[in-house]
Amino acid sequence: MKTVKKLIVIFLLISLMLTLAACDTDKTTSAGETSAAPDITESNMSAEYKKAIDERRAEHEKTGEYKKITYALYTWTGRPVGLDRIQEAMNKILREKLCLEIELLALDFASYRQDIQLYLTNNNRQIDWYGGNVLGYTSCVNNGFCYDLDADNLLATYGPGIEELVPQKYQEACKYAGHLYGIPPIKDYAITATAIVIGKEYLDAIGYEYKEDEKQEVASSWEEIEAIYTQLHEKFPDKYVFAVADNHFGQGSVIDNLGNDWFGVLLDPTKDRKVVNLMESDEWMDMVKRMNRWNKMGFIPPDALTDKTSSSAKIKSGAYMSMLAQSKPGYKTQISGECGREMIVFRLGKDIIKSSGITSVITCLNRATSDPVAAVQLMNELYTDPELSTLLVWGEEGTDYVTDPDGHIHFPDGVDTRNAEWYHTMNWEMPNQYICPVWVGDSPDLGSMIMEFNAQAETSIALGFTFDNSAYTAEYAALQNIYDEYANQLLYGFLDPVSGTAEFNDKLKKAGLNRYIAEKQRQFDVWYVNNYGGK
């Protein structure tokens, strides 16, 4: 509790400083949020909140059964061994507190989009809360998969802790056509764009010297990374240097895609209002030329287009040595856990909050949920109850972690990343990891560091803008099919960067790309004037 109180004081001070500096329109800040809100108890719950629980208790007394709410999570490696145990530990609390039960679904990220979309479409499996960002937030809304959390004051009445933790401006950033269809976790909304992470053991083997800064990062450049890769390839010819993923521009650049598709972007989102075709930009050509060169140098495996294993899982297997990512405070500990070995983080870009920075991870409630009130009350507890959140993030004390005298936690004796039953490394996906203990290696002040990180990052002028493409669904479908056909072939280096890009653009334009970009520009201009007064 001392840590929580300390964080609240820090966040209030940050909020005050940012309010005083609000006239600086070139750098819209994002702090002011806190990681702790009062846990709801009998003494502070509203009459409506208590009535909903009482009604469930009365129903339970009649039937002997508990209302069940499902929460579909994604992990890099599928269903953790300890899931049933963690679920039961959470339910012991939830039965008493809310008179309901949670059912945790943990699906492999590689198949999550397909699996959840099938469940939502066929409605043959109870799905309440799910990761809308994986399916595409706007697509989820347009397909009718999302419940309006503002309807009948649902979130305000039954999610007061969420309302307090997620500032209004961040809620606005999650709205689509004026409606709130999802909520973000308490996390790093900013990113350090373009980070290359490489296994320490491999750097040591080639004698590479580096110095980490206070953020446990190493300042670098694309040229330096290529030189390191060349040495790694020569030293380890039986391994692949680079585990590719489709994150070259999402995490590997400051480019803002204005609504979670790449058909019209802001190349410099901190000041440039012109929406342009990414695939005709210098940034695109530089990237695909680099990837084509790396492919020819043997850094990228020949099955990269078909192997959907996550990059961190590939590195954990020992067959790969590095990957592209985005960084933040505490990222070294996170990515080292994901990769099963110590990783060194090389920083190539700058800190920024993109327009999708808030919705890059967003949890949505299924429109077909049978009990939206119970669902929101459950999620409210996951945001505010440290005991429930810790079970979800770290598991059970004594089995999944032990606590040091200084408050840090770590694996018990005999447990590591290879045999841990609940070490999913998906803390950023969870509602609120910052009311939980801190893993050894991270600062005890990690929560406040994250909030300061959000506060000091440059912010896209499009933060809060969501492109409504509902009138262009046919164009979007055609464009996305073409993108799926060409993008990774170019970004993984399998097509000639010049002729392949020209063919790619030709097909995109015939499918209506220019009309789509023009409409995105029009909507953005209207939104910008409404929010900034045309400045």
Angle, helix 372-384 to helix 386-393, in steps of 10 degrees: 90
Q: Which residue pairs, CB below 8 angstroms and at least 24 apart, start in 522-528?
A: 523/465, 523/467, 523/468, 524/258, 524/273, 524/275, 524/462, 524/465, 524/467, 525/273, 527/464, 527/465, 528/273, 528/461, 528/462, 528/465
* DSSP structural state of residue 284: H
The mean pLDDT of 125-129, rounded to a whole number, is 97
User: Cα–Cα distances in Å, from 468 out to 261, 277, 473, 512?
Assistant: 11, 18, 10, 16
pLDDT for res 42: 65
Q: Is the pLDDT of residue 3 over 80?
A: no
Q: Is the pLDDT of residue 249 over 80?
A: yes
Rounded Cα distance, 390 and 435, in Å = 8
Q: Is the pLDDT of residue 325 over 90?
A: yes
Domains, the chain: 2-188+358-459 (3.40.190.10)
Alpha helices in 208-272 (DSSP H): 222-235
Alpha helices in 109-159 (DSSP H): 109-122, 132-135, 137-142, 154-158
pLDDT for res 77: 84
Average pLDDT, the chain: 91
DSSP string, 446-485: HHHHHHHHHHHSEE-TTTT-----GGGHHHHHHHHHHHHH
pLDDT for res 2: 43
Rounded Cα distance, 466 and 141, in Å = 12
pLDDT for res 1: 41
Q: Label the pairing between strands 409-410 and 402-403.
A: antiparallel
pLDDT for res 374: 99
487-499, pLDDT tens digit by residue? 999 999 999 999 9
Rounded Cα distance, 503 and 489, in Å = 12
512 conformational bin, left if phi > 0, alpha if psi -120 to 50, beta if neither: left
β-bridge partners, 164? none
User: Cα–Cα distances in Å, from 412 out to 80, 114, 198, 392, 400?
Assistant: 17, 36, 27, 18, 7
Rounded Cα distance, 302 and 420, in Å = 32
Residue located via tokens 């669902």: 375
Among residues 361, 367, 357, which one has the least CA distance to residue 140? 367
DSSP string, 334-383: HHHHHHTS-EEEEE-S-EEE-TTTTTSS-EEEBTT-S-HHHHHHHHHHHH
β-bridge partners, 68? 101
The mean pLDDT of 359-385, rounded to a whole number, is 97
Q: Label the pairing between strands 67-75 and 100-108.
A: parallel
Q: pTM of the entire structure?
A: 0.77
Both tokens of 78, joined, read: 């599928």
Q: Is the pLDDT of residue 535 over 90?
A: no
The more confidently predicted of residues 77 and 67 is 67
CB burial readout 168-202, b (16+ within 10 A) else e? eebbebbbbeeebbbbbbbbbbbbbbbbbbbbbeb
Among residues 459, 474, 462, which one has the least CA distance to residue 523? 462
pLDDT for res 377: 98
Rounded Cα distance, 135 and 112, in Å = 8
Largest Cα separation within the chain, whole Å, is 70
The mean pLDDT of 434-458, rounded to a whole number, is 91
pLDDT for res 534: 60
Residue located via tokens 């669904």: 473
374-414, pLDDT tens digit by residue? 999 999 999 999 999 999 999 999 999 999 999 999 999 99
C-beta of residue 155 within 8 angstroms of C-beta of residue 149? yes
